[in-house]
């Protein structure tokens, strides 16, 4: 089985890359390899399902540029192909005067990124949008939405396969090694070997390991952080209309626990962020010796722990205490009770962690011979996926001399 290009990783970034490469190069034979028996079975299928606006990202960064471009394209894609979605808007709310300077900073960033229609709103205006929220003001972001990312991923792959009948999707094919030849590479999988001239890696939680298999001298490591969600019980669902976010703490690498109305009507609350002892572990006690040793023998992990010690301890306490999780939610909706929430699912985020413990805030895409590696694509990568796919397809044209 010989291909012109092989894409490794069947999350939404891999799917969008497969789709965009095929669209731009309809004559090429392209393969998509995914180790699970389902597409989008890790970060893509376990996230909040939010179409991000681009509100938080440093102006001019790859995150800001790709999130905004990707959002427009994703919404158009969802409309065209009937993917469940709703551009419902969100509020970012301050509940304490100490949060107001950061709220202003977020608003200014949003203005610099030219986020359409954002407004600074009063506590009364917040109440008009979300009647159960108690705040001292906030930001209204009308272009934020919700979407079925699994559905979007499946559709991208389906469209790519329809362009070129000789292109293929290989599910349940775990890539265990890359054998480099002069003109092409052999992809060794759990179900046989394949040959491809060019490789694109979109491996998410396994990005660093796949880079090493391809001979990349990567100093950083991917470290996983699990996020647990609660769901509102039926009697409490009326307390959240759409999306409600806290003001993010700039000292912490995550956005904080928020409320999200999903496309199926459920209301999720979360996620928190705790170090996980298994990269693809969605249970609180999941453990992998290899993943744990990998993370805890890396200096960057310890530097991140020491730099965020109090946050980390609080997140861990909250992960095992429904009462503490509820307390966090009550900052925004004080009327919530223990009976209003029950445990939901969990997700794991991949962060390419620098040696100094920096969480590498921007997307990172690198080239290595006849390969392209997406090394870091945390949130908002799902929103930005089609823009990332465009970017990789354009770069592939340059680096791979595609005709």
Q: Is residue 59 part of a domain?
A: no
pLDDT in tens, 200-226: 999 999 999 999 999 999 999 999 999
Rounded Cα gap, residues 343 and 230, in angstroms:
4
Q: Is residue 84 part of a domain?
A: no
Tokens of 256: 């904080």
pLDDT mean values, one per 10 residues, the chain (403 residues): 97 98 98 98 96 96 97 98 98 98 97 98 98 98 98 98 98 98 96 98 98 96 95 98 94 85 96 94 95 96 90 88 96 98 96 89 92 96 98 95 77
Range of the domain at 309: 221-359
Q: Is residue 70 part of a domain?
A: no
Give the model's pLDDT for residue 360.
66
Give the model's pLDDT for residue 255.
80
3 state DSSP class of 56 = coil
Rounded Cα gap, residues 248 and 261, in angstroms:
19
The answer to whether the beta carbons of residues 190 and 246 sit under 8 Å apart is no
Same domain, residue pair 19 and 155: yes
* DSSP structural state of residue 249: P
* DSSP structural state of residue 247: P
Side-chain half-sphere exposure of 341, counting CA atoms within 13 A:
27
Same domain, residue pair 324 and 226: yes
Side-chain half-sphere exposure of 370, counting CA atoms within 13 A:
19
The answer to whether the beta carbons of residues 7 and 33 sit under 8 Å apart is yes
Rounded Cα gap, residues 240 and 312, in angstroms:
28
Task: Pick the closest to residue 154 from 47, 63, 44, 69 (CA basis).
Answer: 44
3 state DSSP class of 372 = strand
CA distances to 106, 325, 327 from 338, rounded to whole Å, are 32, 10, 10
Same domain, residue pair 252 and 346: yes
Q: Is residue 238 part of a domain?
A: yes
Same domain, residue pair 230 and 333: yes
* Domain-ending residue, one of 139, 169, 196: 139
Same domain, residue pair 36 and 176: yes
Side-chain half-sphere exposure of 3, counting CA atoms within 13 A:
29
Same domain, residue pair 163 and 265: no
CA 201, 205, 210 angle in degrees (round to 5)? 40
Confidence (pTM): 0.97
**Residue the block writes with tokens 């427009």:** 72
Q: Is residue 52 part of a domain?
A: no
Q: Is residue 311 part of a domain?
A: yes
Residue 296's Cα: distance from chain center in Å?
23
CA 299, 291, 352 angle in degrees (round to 5)? 55
Q: Is residue 64 part of a domain?
A: no
Residue 207's Cα: distance from chain center in Å?
14
Task: Pick the closest to residue 28 from 344, 351, 349, 401 (CA basis).
Answer: 401
Same domain, residue pair 249 and 314: yes
Burial label for 71, CB within 10 Å (0-12, 13-18, 19+), is buried
Give the chain's domain count.
3
Tokens of 272: 């928190």
Domain of 347, CATH number, reads 3.30.9
Same domain, residue pair 238 and 339: yes
Same domain, residue pair 237 and 333: yes
- Cβ neighbours for 209, distance < 8 A, ≥ 6 positions apart: 203, 222
- Cβ neighbours for 394, distance < 8 A, ≥ 6 positions apart: 24
* Domain-ending residue, one of 80, 111, 139: 139
Strands (DSSP E) found in 253-309: 258-261, 267-270, 274-275
Domain of 383, CATH number, reads 3.50.50.60
Rounded Cα gap, residues 195 and 181, in angstroms:
10
Tokens of 229: 């969600």
Rounded Cα gap, residues 403 and 390, in angstroms:
17
Same domain, residue pair 304 and 287: yes
pLDDT in tens, 152-208: 999 999 999 999 999 999 999 999 999 999 999 999 999 999 999 999 999 999 999
3 state DSSP class of 96 = coil
- Respond yes or no on whether the N-terminal peptide bond of residue 107 is cis (omega within 30° of 0): no
Task: Pick the closest to residue 257 from 223, 227, 224 (CA basis).
Answer: 227
Strands (DSSP E) found in 304-340: none
Same domain, residue pair 208 and 324: no
Q: Is residue 352 part of a domain?
A: yes
Rounded Cα gap, residues 376 and 98, in angstroms:
32
Give the model's pLDDT for residue 401.
84
Same domain, residue pair 380 and 244: no
């Amino acid at each position: 089985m010989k291909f012109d290009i092989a894409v490794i990783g069947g999350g939404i970034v891999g799917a969008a890359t497969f789709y965009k490469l095929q669209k731009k190069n309809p004559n090429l034979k392209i393969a998509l390899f995914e180790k699970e028996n389902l597409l989008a079975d890790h970060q893509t299928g376990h996230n909040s399902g939010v179409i991000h606006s681009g509100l938080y990202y440093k102006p001019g960064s790859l995150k800001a540029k790709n999130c905004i471009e990707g959002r427009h394209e994703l919404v158009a894609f969802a409309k065209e192909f009937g993917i469940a979605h709703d551009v419902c808007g969100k509020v970012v709310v301050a509940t304490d005067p100490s949060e107001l300077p950061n709220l202003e900073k977020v608003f200014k960033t949003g203005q610099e990124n030219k986020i359409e229609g954002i407004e600074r709103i009063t506590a009364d205006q917040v109440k008009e949008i979300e009647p159960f929220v108690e705040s001292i003001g906030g930001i209204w972001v009308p272009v934020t939405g919700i979407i079925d990312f699994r559905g979007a991923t499946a559709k991208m792959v389906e469209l790519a396969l329809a362009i070129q009948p000789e292109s293929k999707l290989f599910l349940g094919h775990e890539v265990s090694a890359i054998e480099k030849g002069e003109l092409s590479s052999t992809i060794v999988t759990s179900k046989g070997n394949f040959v491809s001239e060019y490789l694109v890696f979109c491996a998410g939680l396994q990005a660093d390991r796949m880079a090493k298999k391809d001979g990349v001298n990567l100093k950083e490591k991917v470290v996983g952080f699990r996020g647990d969600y609660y769901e509102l019980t039926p009697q409490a669902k009326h307390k959240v209309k759409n999306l409600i976010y806290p003001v993010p703490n700039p000292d912490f690498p995550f956005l904080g626990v928020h409320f999200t109305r999903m496309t199926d009507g459920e209301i999720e609350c979360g996620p928190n962020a705790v170090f996980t002892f298994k990269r693809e572990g969605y249970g609180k006690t999941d453990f992998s010796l290899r993943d744990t040793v990998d993370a805890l023998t890396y200096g960057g992990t310890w530097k991140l722990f020491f730099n965020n010690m109090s946050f980390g301890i609080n997140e861990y306490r909250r992960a095992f205490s429904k009462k503490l999780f509820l307390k966090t939610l009550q900052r925004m909706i004080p009327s919530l009770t223990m009976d209003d929430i029950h445990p939901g699912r969990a997700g794991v985020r991949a962060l390419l962690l620098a040696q100094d413990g920096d969480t590498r805030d921007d997307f990172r895409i690198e080239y290595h011979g006849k390969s392209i590696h997406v090394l870091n694509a945390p949130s908002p990568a799902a929103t930005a996926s089609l823009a990332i796919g465009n970017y990789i397809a354009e770069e592939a044209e340059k680096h791979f001399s595609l005709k």
